[in-house]
Structure 1
Amino acid sequence: MQYRRIALRVQYLGSAFHGWQRQAAHRSVQGVLEEAIASRAGHKVILHGAGRTDAGVHAAGQMAHFDTTSTIRPSDWSRVLNACLPEDVAVLASAEVPDSWHARFSATRRRYRYLILNRERPDVFWRLFSWHVRWPLQVERMSEALNSLLGEHSLEAFRCTGSKRAHSTVQVQEVLCQRLGEMVSIEVQASGFLYRMMRLLVGSLQVVGRGELSPEGFVRLWQQNDWSQMRTRYSAPPQGLCLTDVGYAADPFGQLFAHSPPFWVLPLAAPPPTLAPLAHSFG
């Protein structure tokens, strides 16, 4: 019996999921996708993801793979699955990959973006996709602190207990912290991410932005893993976080893959028209 390995690029809204990983008693992205694939393949499958997002975390470019004996053409899997998936999950592309290719272990980079709605009043339309922080944030200080993470370091300070990873060394490849009108966007690209690393990192950066921790204090915090510099260990809520991309040495989809991610994950040159200048928000 000949198996084919199929790679998928997946997009989902995390709001109604208890995370990526399959769970017996809760709705998960992996579980929903495995059920849909099995219904079309005619046999059970195990879907391997590039990363395990937490409950409430979104993805615009999650990667996954499964093995199947189905005769469905590899490029048709995206169309076949989208016909039976719920509205909060979509398969953007599908392709056959070599048996040696693995969605998680073959990845060379992952990129996350976190959005903070930084104004006095909340916004019901952004509630599912951002963290509402009502006090003004000094983005320049946050950017200075974030830049200190570039390179390969032990980031144990930004790992929650319960992680099964053997070490805390991470190669941080790119970082970006910028203001887009009333939105503060924090992006990190790294070789991998520790358990809840991004949420702990953003939680600490907003303390820097509030002026309660200096950029130098932030550096001491993560280099010495010394949380005594802060009154509490802040973890940003999940809804502002989105896995925007997973990269490989070669794109499994070649030139056939092209998609337009949601506007909140695009590298916006200017704030969306619905976002007023920040100066109008705290008056």
Structure 2
Amino acid sequence: MRNIKIVLSYDGTDFNGWQIQPGLRTVQETLELAAEQITGSRPKANASGRTDAGVHAVGQVVNFYTPATMTPDSFRKALNAKLPDDMAVRECKEAGDTFDANRDAVRKLYRYVIRDTNIRDPFLRKYYSISHQTLDVAAMQRAARSLVGTHDFHSFETNWPNRATSVRTITHLSVNRAGEYIWLDVEADGFLYNMVRTIAGTLMNVGRGYWPEEKVAEVLKAEDRREAGPTAPAAGLFLMRVSY
């Protein structure tokens, strides 16, 4: 058996997340069924992390074991021929026998995209969250500084507790603008359920002028989800990169 590592991109709009769910279209099942058509046996696809319904990925990393003997490049082409148009394998290579896409990940980078305008874009509407008020990006960036480092992110976690601990380390958090598009880049050693989307919703409250910049540090210290902002829509969230 060979351990295959792939980098997978997908438009999450029409998927019910990564994980297999009976009767629902998911990224994991779609990938496994495509591999089965090629190899004759269905692998168990193991991702760096589960993405939720509507969340996109540019650089999701997946590994699975297969008896297939074709070269990695031939396997990539064969998979792309079987996958639907809203999925694509960007890279494919043979990994070491013990490589685990989930357990071996040391950092992940997510990007959250916002558009502050009163006019929706009919072509890109599935790939951003809209704000009908102009956002103060400089204020959002200053407020975001309090989240960088190792903290208990209980306030930014939905349905606590989801993990053994809510402590995570954010190594990078930036807020940028290009025209009417704003994006938050958040890189950390791990993420809690809805953590990035809650950070986005909280910083948007600052950007709209609803909250002072200092409020974000107070929310973090409170360790209470009720103190944070709303969970921003899934459409704006992209898994960009996984580091090993």
Change (3 A) 1:217 1:77: same
CA RMSD of superposed structures (Å): 1.4
Q: Report the alpha carbon displacement of residue 76 of structure 1 after superposing the two structures with TM.
A: 2.3
One-letter amino acid of the structure 2 residue matched with residue 20 of structure 1: W
CA contact under 8 A between 2:114 and 2:131: conserved in structure 1?
Answer: yes
Q: Report the alpha carbon displacement of residue 74 of structure 1 after superposing the two structures with TM.
A: 2.7
Q: Which residue of the partner structure matches residue 263 of structure 1?
A: none
Q: Which residue of the partner structure matches residue 15 of structure 1?
A: 13
CA contact under 8 A between 1:217 and 1:229: conserved in structure 2?
Answer: no
Q: Which whole-Å CA distance do the structure 2 matches of 1:247 and 1:35 have between them?
A: 27
CA contact under 8 A between 1:220 and 1:226: conserved in structure 2?
Answer: no
One-letter amino acid of the structure 1 residue matched with residue 10 of structure 2: Y
Q: Report the alpha carbon displacement of residue 58 of structure 1 after superposing the two structures with TM.
A: 0.5
Q: Which residue of the partner structure matches residue 281 of structure 1?
A: none
Q: Which residue of the partner structure matches residue 240 of structure 2?
A: 244
- 1:220-252 per-residue CA deviation (whole Å, 9 max, x = no partner) reads 11121246656xx4010000111011111xxxx
Q: Which residue of the partner structure matches residue 26 of structure 2?
A: 28
Unaligned stretches of 5+ in structure 1?
A: 249-283
Q: Which whole-Å CA distance do the structure 2 matches of 1:227 and 1:62 have between them?
A: 28
Q: Which residue of the partner structure matches residue 57 of structure 1?
A: 55
Q: Which whole-Å CA distance do the structure 2 matches of 1:227 and 1:155 have between them?
A: 9
Unaligned stretches of 5+ in structure 2?
A: none
Q: Which residue of the partner structure matches residue 115 of structure 2?
A: 117
One-letter amino acid of the structure 2 residue matched with residue 141 of structure 1: A
TM-score w.r.t. length of structure 1: 0.83
Q: Secondary structure at the match of 2:186?
A: strand
CA contact under 8 A between 2:56 and 2:235: conserved in structure 1?
Answer: yes
Aligned length: 244
Q: Does 1:210 align with 2:225?
A: no
- 1:158-178 per-residue CA deviation (whole Å, 9 max, x = no partner) reads 111065321111111111101
CA contact under 8 A between 1:34 and 1:46: conserved in structure 2?
Answer: yes
Q: Which residue of the partner structure matches residue 170 of structure 1?
A: 168
Change (3 A) 1:162 1:90: farther
Q: Which whole-Å CA distance do the structure 2 matches of 1:133 and 1:119 have between them?
A: 6
CA contact under 8 A between 1:22 and 1:31: conserved in structure 2?
Answer: yes
Superposed counterparts of 1:71-110, under 5 Å? 71-110=69-108
Q: Which whole-Å CA distance do the structure 1 matches of 2:225 and 2:15 have between them?
A: 31
- 1:31-67 per-residue CA deviation (whole Å, 9 max, x = no partner) reads 1000001111111210000011111111000000000
TM-score w.r.t. length of structure 2: 0.96
